[in-house]
Structure 1
Amino acid sequence: AVYVANALSPAKVNHVTIDEDNNYATVVVPDDQLSLAIGKEGQNARLAARLTGWHIDIKPVSYQGSSLVSDELIDEVEEDDDFCIFVGEDGARCRNHARPGSQYCGVHADEEAE
């Protein structure tokens, strides 16, 4: 969790939730740090994901009252094994079918091949 938080530096990170089974990290940042953590056109988030090897979802602290990518999404992923598991900045899950042998559809630039 510390490694993921440091990878998003200089943005300040409030909390990191790690899902080791799905290689997924949900990062909560202060509202005023969201654009810094994501970076221009998602560059910081992509670089942090590449550096850490984790799929990183960055959420503002104000979103914490809503459902974060937690057990609900993980359950949904397990139920829909043939669908892409990419989750966008708005928290919406990709609706495309995954490529054969992958968990991703291949549309999103920051996906890592598996």
Structure 2
Amino acid sequence: MSEFIGDWHALVVLLVAGFLPNEVWRMLGLWLGGGLDEGSEILVWVRAVATAILAGVIAQILVLPPGALASVPGPLRYGAVAVGLVVFIVARRSILLGVLAGEATMLIGKWALG
């Protein structure tokens, strides 16, 4: 069983330092935001800010790719994002299909380039 779990100390650290602190804020958000109307101005603003942050992170990863993604040529990275966006729109805003299409484009393109 220890081969399957590996270093259990790392799992405990991940749980204590990564998972639990985030869950406190999630539960607090659920408790405080439970009675808010989804169309209220504050939630529209929160969604806009969250979308802007996500767009910024994606743009940063595209322009200055970290780690192994830096070995993928720029046109392939941008093409994979474009394919994922098109599939997302065509598939009636399916995030799963858009991400899978972008990933498949990236993997096939990297494989074809060697």
TM-score, normalised relative to structure 2: 0.22
**Looking at CA atoms only, which structure, 1 or 2, has the larger radius of gyration?**
2
Q: Which structure has more strand as a fraction of its residues?
A: 1
More helix by share: 2
Question: Using CA pairs below 8 Å that are at least 6 residues apart, which structure has the higher relative contact order?
Answer: 1
TM-score, length-scaled by structure 1 = 0.22
